[in-house]
Amino acid sequence: MAAAEWSNLTEVGWVFVIVFLAAVAAPLIHAWRAKTSIALAVSISLIFAWIIQFLSEYMTGGDRWLMSLLALQPSAFLELDQALRLVAAGWLHSGLLHLLGNLVVIILVGVPLEQRLGRERWLAIYFIGVLGGNFGWVFSHWGEHGLALGASGAAFGLLGCYLACWPRDEIEFPFVLIRKWPISLIALLKLGIEILQYGMLTSGQGLTDNVAHLAHITGFFACYVLAKPIAKGGPVEIGVVDSGPSASGVAGAARDTIKKRMGSLDSDPWSAVGKALEGEAGRTLQRLREEGDEPETRQAWLEQLSEVAKCPECDAALLAEVKGGVTRVRCIVDKNHLEWP
């Protein structure tokens, strides 16, 4: 079915497909290059995709051919174009309300989560949510012809990631009132509703709808399970409790994370081998111990130390390196000789 649709595309159809893919990619590429919010870029990308989808249906008298071409279809899973469907389905929506419901979560939850995770890790979590939701739907509806679409798996994935990594955060969200709510309450309540609705659907209690509840659930748990390995080493320490996910809060948390990784200055490798530093090198080491409790001052004094001290193991020159905001001096011959602190 899918292969025939692709082969039967008219020139106008191909134009719409190309424009659709360009509309999806353009905001993401721009945000990546400009180093702006990738969460907001995804939101704009979804809006652009919806506009193209709406125009394609309007110009063909309501024919949802773009949806049938790119939405997820379990019966077509093994066909060559299915790889594109697994991702493209996340940029299609059944209606404006469907789109808006996902945008609320992606913007209100996704933006503060991005401030915690960083752009690269956030984007990885988002795509894990898309794929986790879609794979869950495919394997639970194997061989069926019904279509599944929407960014809900990714939206629930953001909730799962946030719950796993920073459950004590509070964010603005429209629950009864638009105010700050604990992310644990938001995530668990929305997940609980989905599980309840899915249970009612599968137990024959009379509930029927066209919502892919299982895709929401699998998207949530895929990101919940993988969240901590992905977030580890990111700009904000997992589980940190600070002033909240704001620009200043993230900067402060990131700084605290760097300071925790800087290492102790109480002992030094020169004294440990009976070659205590003297003269200018000794004075520099003393100033480092007195003033090196902040990342910037520690970097400055370690750079100075690398110029006046030698490796205690082989007497080679030293090099000051900064990795992840943390400065250390190492032997230029072999870092196994010296990498401190």
Per-residue pLDDT of 143-178, as tens digits, reads 788 888 999 999 999 999 999 999 999 999 998 788
Give Cβ neighbours of residue 297 (< 8 Å, ≥ 6 apart): 291
- Indicate whether 208 pLDDT > 80: no
Residues 249 and 284 occupy one common structural domain: no
pLDDT band at 3 (very low <50, low <70, confident <90, very high): very low
More confident residue, 245 or 136: 136
| Integer angstrom CA distances of residue 99 from 47, 54, 70, 196 | 8, 12, 16, 22
- Indicate whether 221 pLDDT > 70: yes
Residues 49 and 132 occupy one common structural domain: yes
Residues 127 and 169 occupy one common structural domain: yes
Average pLDDT over residues 182-209: 85
Residues 246 and 299 occupy one common structural domain: no
Q: What is the DSSP letter of 50?
A: H
Domain end position, chosen among 228, 254, 280:
254
Residues 208 and 282 occupy one common structural domain: no
Residues 180 and 280 occupy one common structural domain: no
For residue 177, the SS3 value is strand
How far from chain centre, in Å, is Cα 187? 16
Residues 322 and 197 occupy one common structural domain: no
Q: What range defines the domain where residue 286 resides?
A: 261-340
Per-residue pLDDT of 241-283, as tens digits, reads 876 665 444 455 566 677 878 888 989 999 999 999 999 999 9
- Indicate whether 1 pLDDT > 80: no
d(CA 32, CA 20): 19
Per-residue pLDDT of 290-304, as tens digits, reads 998 888 899 999 999
Residues 220 and 326 occupy one common structural domain: no
pLDDT band at 129 (very low <50, low <70, confident <90, very high): very high
**Bridging pattern class, strands 318-323 and 177-182:** unpaired
d(CA 272, CA 94): 68
Mean pLDDT, the chain, integer: 88
Instruction: Domain count for the chain, please give it.
Output: 2
Average pLDDT over residues 284-291: 91
> Tokens at residue 41, please?
């870029």
Poorest-confidence range of 4-13, 116-125, 196-205, 250-259? 250-259
CATH number for the domain including 45?
Answer: 1.20.1540.10
- Indicate whether 310 pLDDT > 90: yes
Poorest-confidence range of 66-75, 131-140, 206-215, 284-293? 206-215
pLDDT band at 195 (very low <50, low <70, confident <90, very high): very high
d(CA 38, CA 32): 7
Domain end position, chosen among 204, 232, 254:
254
More confident residue, 91 or 242: 91
- Indicate whether 75 pLDDT > 90: no
Residues 186 and 97 occupy one common structural domain: yes
Per-residue pLDDT of 315-337, as tens digits, reads 999 999 988 778 999 999 998 89
First-to-final CA distance of the chain: 62
Residues 105 and 178 occupy one common structural domain: yes
- Contact between 122 and 70 under an 8 Å Cβ cutoff? The reply is no
Domain end position, chosen among 238, 254, 270:
254
Residue 323: per-residue pLDDT: 84
| Integer angstrom CA distances of residue 171 from 107, 142, 176, 334 | 11, 38, 14, 48
> Tokens at residue 141, please?
């509806």
- Indicate whether 79 pLDDT > 90: no
Give Cβ neighbours of residue 293 (< 8 Å, ≥ 6 apart): 259
Residue 209: per-residue pLDDT: 66
How far from chain centre, in Å, is Cα 210? 28
Residues 227 and 293 occupy one common structural domain: no
Residues 291 and 239 occupy one common structural domain: no
